[in-house]
Structure 1
Amino acid sequence: MEKVWAFDLGASNGRLMVSGFDGKRFYLEEVHRFSNHPVHLTGHYYWDILRIFQEMKNGISKSIKNGHKLIESLSIDTWGVDFGLLSETGELLSNPYSYRDPQTNDSFKEIMDVIPREVLFTRTGVEPAAINTICQLYAIKKNNPVLIEKAKTLLLTPNLLSYFFSGVKANEYTISTTTSLFNVHERNWDSGLMARLNLPAKIMADIVMPGTILGPTLDSIQTEFGISPVKVIAGAGHDTACALAALPIKTGNSAFMSCGTWILMGVQVKDPIINEKSLEWGFTNEGTADGEFRLLKNIMGLWLIQACRSVWAKDGKLFTYEDEAELIKNAKPFTSFIDPDDPSFFNPENMPKQIRDFCIKSGQQPPETEGDFLRCILESLSLKYRWVLEKLETLTGNRIEVIHMGGGGIRNDLFCQFTANATNRPVVAGPVEASSIGNSLSQWIALGKIKDLKEGREIVENSFSVKHYQPQNQSEWQEAFGRFVRLVDQNLIKRGF
């Protein structure tokens, strides 16, 4: 059986999966998993990219020990927007900043003074936001100009790691579309946009399409592990593009949800949808594995629960997923809601306190127990997904009949059921490791083993199980949605929108 390495790296953990394909079915084996969190140092949040690379190599060692030595290719997918800078000699100049670094907040405001939001959105199709690459690059130029002066090449995170393996410098299409530096009409870097901000367009490595074979692994990699050359493929570099590729979607009237630290919800479209409403509602247009676009919204996801767990753990309160499910079931439903995308939840020191403060300020009964907090979060998230779903239907002019959910978040049954209840749509959950599967699928297509994405999705459906959820308790969720919408509208007014 032929095999490939799929490195799937998220903003909270990374993993190496070995994907096998016998011509009819996929097989997936996790050989290594490691934590991944930004490091706070000198007032900034950085990614420890060398540790990440070492963990990837640790995964290769484990894979070889497990008998997976003959590997056809490897590909890497990651979260979006972040990047590394290389010197003239190809050396890494510094640890990459994390999108959660606060320095981008001021740069976002300054960029909006030079380039109106409408202009930026019209050219790039991406919702203007402080986390986007354009803001980080602008902040570095302002606060650390020497770094920009020394930079010869900018590589986005998956492509930086591919460079470590292959020595080839290139930025892949799907990850490039997340930056607010990619012109969706010209399908290339927007040099005019960068010129208006005095950003160096010359450092942007060329864009390649998903499935481009960059070359073999470096001799040093082969020597270190005693392996034959492995093809390094620039597959779909953005984890959400990978997740979408793996979902067994059969109809155009389907929405997708990639469920993890963030929730990305949207539909696939042939061309970007760029108008006043898509800008007003905070939608974005990013690339797909087959060269089209994902009209989607970035929504706060399981980060809210992850941040609560961190606080509770400091008090010695550790809960399994089963424990959390029981806590939620025992909590009173629809007691209080939050607006998950309120900026106060982006990176607070104490998430439970932030949630409690939000509820008090909005005139609601605040959560008391851990179960109350968890239920408040899941109900609020699910109701926000209905809000997004209705906006997607308005923008596309099509009714969405079914929601496909993939990613680690779907291990939470209540999360999936609440989503079905809130949206009043059937939910198809699976596969769990959607990003890893989509990563390997892009490799098999590049290697010529699978014809295209349509054929690949059929193979995925025959290879991995999915779970179906039907809407329940509609009258209660309908009433809750009305209260939730009023809360979100009032919150936007308070914030000056």
Structure 2
Amino acid sequence: MSIYAAVDLGASNGRVMTVELAGDKLRLDEAHRFANRPVRAGGTLHWDILALYQGVLDGLRKAGPDIVSAGIDSWAVDYGLLDGAGRLLGNPVHYRDERTAGIMERTIAELGAATLYETSGMQFLPFNTIYQLLAEGDRLDAAHTLLMIPDLLTYWLTGSIGAEATNASTTGLYDVRARAWAWELMDRVGIPRRIFPELRPPGSPAGTLRADLELGPIPVTSVASHDTASAVVAVPAANERFAYISSGTWSLVGVELPAPVLTEAGRLANFTNEGGVDGTTRYLRNVMGLWILQECLRVWGGPDLGELLAAAERAPAFGAVIDPDDPSFLPPGDMPARIAAFCARTGQRPPQSRAEVVRCVLESLALAYRRAVRDAARLSGHEVEVIHVVGGGARNELLCRLTASACELPVLAGPVEAAALGNALVQARARGEVGGLAELRELVRRAEPIAVYEPEPASGRWEEAEARAWPAS
């Protein structure tokens, strides 16, 4: 029996999970959960990185002395900058901060979208790391090292500096074909090469917990540190003919491929190529995800979600629908009002009740998933027979049923804690306890409960709703 500590940091909370592996048995327990509350100071939205670090330390202590390894995954694109003495130059800025406004457009105008895409294979999103770095100004001159969020926390835990490859692949400054930093692109945009550490493949050692932490000499593994990369490891697929939806604050919708797809059609469809375990490519589109619903709940004062979902199930189907990726839904704010404004722009009657708003959000997400799955299959030539939904959204039965019907494919929902499981399984493989991806997924398939949702006929109503949400397509 081996016990692994999986630190999994999401946009709204962090958790330290223990994953016990004994032969072909898995047991997942939550050691500690803590809030992740961004802080606005001086007009800038920051991550409270020290609170996150304290949460990680508290969680590792609660995980107990028997853990044999630890690893950290988190969201992508955000980072901390260190000076020459290894000191943090300021709290990392939140990707939803407005500082990158207009930078992506200017960079595309200067270099050309095709040039950027042919190198990085990245979906064009205004908060990608490359555009955040171009917004740094003088602070970049003082920087000696850039560390993505999991790498920064790993550095504080171990004193070891490195850049895990799956998270590096989300920066827009990574060459997806060479699987290396895109040095020439850095030079062209004026971002200094010196700040980028040596790349680490997932599963490589990242040091040992510092003695002054008094947690014991526990090894730390550089796991697939982008949480989506870890989640995809734990997709319980029986073969390669699957699509996945890593569903949480964001929804990452795509397929797993042996190589990137860098076609002009893929660029125009705004698909991204991100690194996975064993040299795989996660060919996907970012969809705004449950963020819109989360913001609605916040504006409404935190009503009971279960009651709202039950009411949404009774609400009329195929009322108003939105494009979840409309830029108006990206920043924090009054989402119900923004939904109403989108409906007004597209000639639709806005939702009239909270239940109708929730139904609108979930049907719109199912439509966005439908478009992304079909585009991924079409652009990559990858056959899709089933969709795996992992992450927190796997708990949302209404969303899973709507997704199956919209996509006209079976949906298999679970595991909920896929990122933590994938994190721990990469650690276990690094210790030689399990084998390749197929073996890891078989282990998850045997150990985790999976709910199955079959599509229900809708007589063309999804097509009509899609035309309302995306009238120009």
TM bucket, shorter chain: over 0.9
State the AA in 1 paired with 2:438: K
Shift of 1:377: 0.4
SS of 1:290's equivalent in the other structure is helix
Shift of 1:363: 0.9
Shift of 1:12: 1.1
* Other-structure match for 1:484: 466
State how far apart, in whole Å, the 2-side matches of 1:442 and 1:398 are.
25
State how far apart, in whole Å, the 2-side matches of 1:277 and 1:479 are.
27
State how far apart, in whole Å, the 2-side matches of 1:31 and 1:16 are.
6
State the AA in 2 paired with 1:111: T
* Other-structure match for 1:48: 48
Shift of 1:169: 0.5
Whether the 8 Å contact between 2:176 and 2:275 is mirrored in structure 1 is no
Q: Equivalent of 1:131, from 106, 127, 130?
A: 127
Q: Equivalent of 1:287, from 275, 279, 282?
A: 275
State how far apart, in whole Å, the 2-side matches of 1:465 and 1:81 are.
32
Shift of 1:106: 2.5
* Other-structure match for 2:115: 119
* Other-structure match for 1:61: 61
* Other-structure match for 1:297: 285
* Other-structure match for 1:26: 26
State the AA in 2 paired with 1:58: D
Is 1:99 matched with 2:87? no
* Other-structure match for 1:207: 199
Shift of 1:431: 0.7
Q: Equivalent of 1:185, from 174, 177, 202?
A: 177
Deviation readout 1:30-49 (Å, 9 max, x if unpaired)? 01111213211111111110
State how far apart, in whole Å, the 2-side matches of 1:17 and 1:333 are.
38
* Other-structure match for 1:234: 222
* Other-structure match for 2:15: 15
Is 1:451 matched with 2:435? yes
TM-score, length-scaled by structure 1: 0.93
Is 1:404 matched with 2:388? yes
* Other-structure match for 1:247: 235
Deviation readout 1:150-205 (Å, 9 max, x if unpaired)? 21110111111111111110000100000000011221111111111111111101
Shift of 1:62: 2.4
State the AA in 2 paired with 1:273: V
Shift of 1:219: 1.2
Percent identity between matched residues is 39
TM-score, length-scaled by structure 2: 0.98
State the AA in 2 paired with 1:328: A
Whether the 8 Å contact between 1:321 and 1:412 is mirrored in structure 2 is no
* Other-structure match for 2:350: 366
SS of 1:383's equivalent in the other structure is helix
Is 1:153 matched with 2:145? yes
Q: Which runs of 5+ in 2 are unaligned?
A: none
Q: Equivalent of 1:268, from 256, 264, 268?
A: 256
State how far apart, in whole Å, the 1-side matches of 2:47 and 2:369 are.
30
* Other-structure match for 2:414: 430
Is 1:461 matched with 2:445? yes
Deviation readout 1:348-396 (Å, 9 max, x if unpaired)? 4211000011111211111111001000000011011111122112112
* CA RMSD, 1 decimal: 1.2
Deviation readout 1:454-488 (Å, 9 max, x if unpaired)? 1111111111111100011331xx32323323531
* Other-structure match for 1:394: 378
State how far apart, in whole Å, the 2-side matches of 1:349 and 1:408 are.
22
State the AA in 2 paired with 1:62: K
Whether the 8 Å contact between 2:166 and 2:276 is mirrored in structure 1 is yes
State how far apart, in whole Å, the 2-side matches of 1:369 and 1:336 are.
12
Aligned length: 473
Deviation readout 1:93-130 (Å, 9 max, x if unpaired)? 11001111111122212212321111100001111221
SS of 2:131's equivalent in the other structure is helix
SS of 1:451's equivalent in the other structure is coil
Whether the 8 Å contact between 2:318 and 2:461 is mirrored in structure 1 is no
State how far apart, in whole Å, the 2-side matches of 1:412 and 1:369 are.
20
State how far apart, in whole Å, the 2-side matches of 1:156 and 1:193 are.
19
